[in-house]
Amino acid sequence: METMKRTVTCGGLRGTDAGKIVVLNGWVHRRRDHGGISFINLRDRWGITQVVVDPVRKPELAAAAAELRNEYCVAVEGAVRPRPSGMVNPEMVTGEIEVDAERILVLNKSAALPFQIDEETRANEDLRLTYRYLDLRSAAMQKRIRMRHETAFAVREWMTSQDFYEIETPTFIKSTPEGARDYLVPSRLYPGKFYALPQSPQLYKQLLMAAGFEKYFQIARCYRDEDARGDRQPEFTQIDIEMSFAGRDDILSMTEGLMGHVFKKVLGVQLPARFRRLSYEEAQERYGTDKPDLRFGMELEDFGPYVEKGTFQAFKDAVAAGGAVKALVFKGGASFSRKQIEELEGAAKVYKAKGLAWMKVRENPARDAQADETPSPLEGGVAKFFGVNAAEIISGLGAGAGDLVLMVADAKRSVANTALGAVRSKLGRDLGLAGHDPSSPRFEFVWIVDFPMFEWNGEEGRWEAAHHLFTWPQEQYHAVLESDPGQVKGDLYDLVLNGYELASGSIRVHDPELQKRIFKIAGFSEEEAERRFGFLTGAFTYGAPPHGGIAPGLDRLVMLMAGESSIKEVIAFPKNSFAVNPMDGSPSEVDSRQLDELNIGIVKKEQGGNLQDERLP
Ligand code: ASP
């Protein structure tokens, strides 16, 4: 096959290159004909260069150029020349020049396209994913995938500079569920036995600490068989990190250094040397969530001190039951209609609130009050119950004329917090309070520390680990682990960025006896714990060092750096929202011969609960 080897990329030519003879390789991005002259925008990974075919001097070439269609893959040879004055395009890096074509070789034709390759593909998601190789040609996808590469590279650079080794851990492991369901891989050699794909390299990175490597990282693929919804992917990538002889603060400051390096290298953004810290409890009280978006304020306040003087029974009941009344002030929100407030109430009810109470701060109490009312500075909603202490409430909450006060009361403090937190988040999103400006994105990092160690699983009637079973309970709780698991705080931390959980980690248990106590609290019998995790506790009996780690999600990190709201935008070949890849059709059925080799038969559950053997033909 005839070839024309490229001498320069489509992003490389400048005015000073005029006069050079060059060969470009790339794709026909657009072809326009003006007065018989063909203008071809030729595109490759580096940019776009304008190629011109002059029909007067080269009639044969012009005929060939007329055959070119979008996305034909071609090689072009020609002379670089300055664009005629007035035709210079300052928007393009190659805008000062064009290439006067001498020869064009079609390397491959393109079929009619399912969608235009543009700056950004506008087709629907399944079409984009079906033709992902075309979607990836768009400038926006090319840029994001480049950013992902640069991020991964910067991570390796930083971790190596800090003396970490990158060590691969197996992707076929023993099934040791970490909270989600495992993906299983049947063993052909051992019928009835399975490997699992790791939900994370957790146990292996801890074993690497037992093995004396001290500082480990890995850009690791993790697999979790969770229900397909929202932005979840069955496989995703973590920057998995573990360190020996390190306490919490060592891990936090190492992670701050990593983020600082990555943001500087990839985005040119200088992050603060240290990130803020909030305890889990404080995050819940002030933002109603353990992943607060700190790009805006609107903190939750305690309305409790104003309940007694008022006459609203529902609030009094919540307080009497040991719960809470929480309030937030929405500046300028008095213009919100009843319908808009109802929508906010919907967000609160998702988190089990019974309702969303509200009142507005009047612009001008004397003027706005109805004739039969005493002029109160509050109006609407539950204002009538707080006539006596309205002024105190307004100044106490820091509210002002034209503001809307929103409140949730509940016999459970956590419900009041989370429900109102959901209202805060919704307002933040709907009103763009976070100031989402793609040209100057803001990055608000915050550490959430001191998480509870255990959560009560009401359905199964047992305690389970809030993060995972290998977390070190803070020293002061070791004596009460069994007697009061709900009170125990773990040496756990999350890194939150702009309202997203970016990383989780913890100091680990290295004492096999303490580890066994934790397994027991989480409901594992001694035999069960031994069967599942014996290899880990066994390793700990040989002088395993104290250790801890963290795992920032690479997909989320790049997504936030790119100003996107879906991780699919930064993964080359993601699954769709139903865990399906519409391009290769996975998951798919397999040959019966493959199943036979694996000693597997397919049993489909029939309606009514009867099982039916349905070995595929
Ligand atoms: N393995 C944990 C996770 O995937 C992270 C860690 O504790 O390092 O959430």
The tens digit of pLDDT for each residue in 306-348 reads 999 999 999 999 999 999 999 999 999 999 999 999 999 999 9
Residue 606: band (very low, low, confident or very high) from pLDDT cuts 50, 70, 90: low
Residue 616: band (very low, low, confident or very high) from pLDDT cuts 50, 70, 90: very low
In terms of Cα–Cα distance, which of 270, 335, 345, 329 is closest to 296? 329
Q: Domain end: 60, 88, 108, which one? A: 108
**Between the CA of residue 269 and those of 255, 272, 535, what are the distances in Å?**
16, 10, 44
From 222, 254, 467, 501, the mutation candidate for ligand 1 (largest count of ligand atoms within 8 A of CB) is 467
255, 148: one domain: yes
Q: Which residues line ligand 1 (CB under 6 A)?
A: 200, 202, 504-506, 549-551
Tell me if residue 325 falls in helix, strand or coil. strand
Taking residues 100-118, what's their average pLDDT?
Answer: 96
pLDDT value of position 617: 33
330, 419: one domain: yes
CB 443 within 8 A of CB 295: no
CA 525 – ligand 1 centroid, Å: 24
Nearest CA to ligand 1 atom 8: 550
Closest ligand 1 atom to Cα of 238? 4
From 173, 178, 182, 202, the mutation candidate for ligand 1 (largest count of ligand atoms within 8 A of CB) is 202
CB 422 within 8 A of CB 298: no
pLDDT over 60 (residue 214): yes
- Residue of 21 and 607 predicted with greater confidence: 21
State the CATH number of the domain containing residue 26.
Answer: 2.40.50.140
pLDDT value of position 78: 97
pLDDT value of position 85: 87
By CB neighbour count within 10 A (0-12 exposed, 13-18 middle, 19+ buried), where does 500 fall? middle
Taking residues 384-399, what's their average pLDDT?
Answer: 93
Nearest CA to ligand 1 atom 7: 505
Residue 369: band (very low, low, confident or very high) from pLDDT cuts 50, 70, 90: low
Taking residues 592-608, what's their average pLDDT?
Answer: 85
How many domains does one find in the chain? Answer: 4
Are β-strands 165-166 and 97-108 bridged in parallel, bridged antiparallel, or unpaired? unpaired
pLDDT value of position 611: 47
Distance CA 482, CA 466 (A): 16
- Residue of 614 and 480 predicted with greater confidence: 480
CA 237 – ligand 1 centroid, Å: 12
pLDDT over 60 (residue 372): no
Decide if 23 is inside a domain. Answer: yes
CA 461 – ligand 1 centroid, Å: 25
335, 382: one domain: yes
DSSP letters, 249-294, are: HHHHHHHHHHHHHHHHHHH-----SS-EEEEHHHHHHHHSSSS--T
CA 200 – ligand 1 centroid, Å: 7
State the CATH number of the domain containing residue 190.
Answer: 3.30.930.10
pLDDT over 60 (residue 612): no
Decide if 9 is inside a domain. Answer: no
**Between the CA of residue 187 and those of 168, 173, 586, what are the distances in Å?**
22, 11, 20
Tell me if residue 75 falls in helix, strand or coil. strand
Nearest CA to ligand 1 atom 6: 505
Q: Which three-class secondary structure string do you get for 27-51?
A: EEEEEEEECCEEEEEEEECCEEEEE
pLDDT over 90 (residue 363): no
Nearest CA to ligand 1 atom 4: 200
Mean pLDDT lowest among 24-33, 131-140, 376-385: 376-385
Taking residues 470-491, what's their average pLDDT?
Answer: 95
CA 269 – ligand 1 centroid, Å: 27
pLDDT over 70 (residue 609): no
From 232, 233, 240, the mutation candidate for ligand 1 (largest count of ligand atoms within 8 A of CB) is 240
Distance CA 148, CA 140 (A): 12
Taking residues 83-103, what's their average pLDDT?
Answer: 94
266, 354: one domain: no
Distance CA 359, CA 354 (A): 17
Tell me if residue 158 falls in helix, strand or coil. helix
- Percent of the chain exceeding pLDDT 90 equals 85
pLDDT value of position 614: 41
Decide if 616 is inside a domain. Answer: yes
Who's near 20: CB < 8 A, 6+ residues apart? 13, 79, 80
Q: Give the chain's mean pLDDT.
A: 93
Distance CA 474, CA 518 (A): 13
pLDDT in tens, 533-574: 999 999 999 999 999 999 999 999 999 999 999 999 999 999
Distance CA 76, CA 9 (A): 11
Reported as type and span, the H/E element at residue 320 is helix 313-320
Decide if 75 is inside a domain. Answer: yes
557, 608: one domain: no
Q: What residues pair up with 217 in beta bridges, in sequence order?
A: 166, 241
CA 248 – ligand 1 centroid, Å: 14
pLDDT value of position 8: 98
Would you give the DSSP letter of residue 546?
Answer: P
161, 85: one domain: no
Distance CA 288, CA 455 (A): 17
CA 550 – ligand 1 centroid, Å: 6
CA 230 – ligand 1 centroid, Å: 21
CA 292 – ligand 1 centroid, Å: 20
pLDDT value of position 223: 96
Q: Domain end: 430, 461, 484, which one? A: 430
426, 350: one domain: yes
Decide if 454 is inside a domain. Answer: no
pLDDT value of position 615: 37
pLDDT over 70 (residue 586): yes
Residue 573 CA, distance from chain mean position: 16
Nearest CA to ligand 1 atom 9: 504
pLDDT value of position 373: 59
Reported as type and span, the H/E element at residue 558 is helix 554-561
Closest ligand 1 atom to Cα of 199? 4
Tell me if residue 489 falls in helix, strand or coil. strand
CA 450 – ligand 1 centroid, Å: 16
- Percent of the chain exceeding pLDDT 70 equals 95
Give alpha helix (H) positions in 78-229: 125-130, 132-135, 139-161, 202-210
Residue 177 CA, distance from chain mean position: 22
pLDDT over 70 (residue 29): yes
By CB neighbour count within 10 A (0-12 exposed, 13-18 middle, 19+ buried), where does 372 fall? exposed
317, 394: one domain: yes
pLDDT value of position 370: 61
390, 320: one domain: yes
Residue-range definition of the domain harbouring residue 301 = 296-430
pLDDT over 80 (residue 2): no
CB 234 within 8 A of CB 198: no
State the CATH number of the domain containing residue 314.
Answer: 3.30.1360.30
Decide if 159 is inside a domain. Answer: yes
Angle between helices 248-267 and 554-561 (to 10 degrees): 40
CB 509 within 8 A of CB 518: yes
Closest ligand 1 atom to Cα of 222? 4
pLDDT value of position 558: 98
pLDDT in tens, 142-165: 999 999 999 999 999 999 999 999
Phi, psi of 358 (to 5 degrees): -150, 160
pLDDT value of position 580: 94
Q: Domain end: 108, 128, 159, which one? A: 108
556, 597: one domain: no
What's the angle, vertex CA 274, arms to CA 268 and CA 275, rounded to 5?
A: 90
Closest ligand 1 atom to Cα of 470? 7
pLDDT in tens, 226-257: 887 777 899 999 999 999 999 999 999 999 99
Number of CB atoms found within 10 A of residue 315's CB: 24
Angle between helices 554-561 and 139-161 (to 10 degrees): 120
By CB neighbour count within 10 A (0-12 exposed, 13-18 middle, 19+ buried), where does 479 fall? exposed
DSSP letters, 500-531, are: EEEEEEEEBP--HHHHHHHHHHTT--HHHHHH
From 232, 244, 468, 469, the mutation candidate for ligand 1 (largest count of ligand atoms within 8 A of CB) is 468
184, 214: one domain: yes
Number of CB atoms found within 10 A of residue 524's CB: 18
83, 191: one domain: no
Distance CA 134, CA 129 (A): 9
CA 154 – ligand 1 centroid, Å: 21
- The amino acid at residue 458 is G
- Residue of 437 and 174 predicted with greater confidence: 174
CA 504 – ligand 1 centroid, Å: 6
Residue 229 CA, distance from chain mean position: 13
Decide if 117 is inside a domain. Answer: no
Decide if 49 is inside a domain. Answer: yes
Distance CA 99, CA 22 (A): 8
Closest ligand 1 atom to Cα of 505? 7
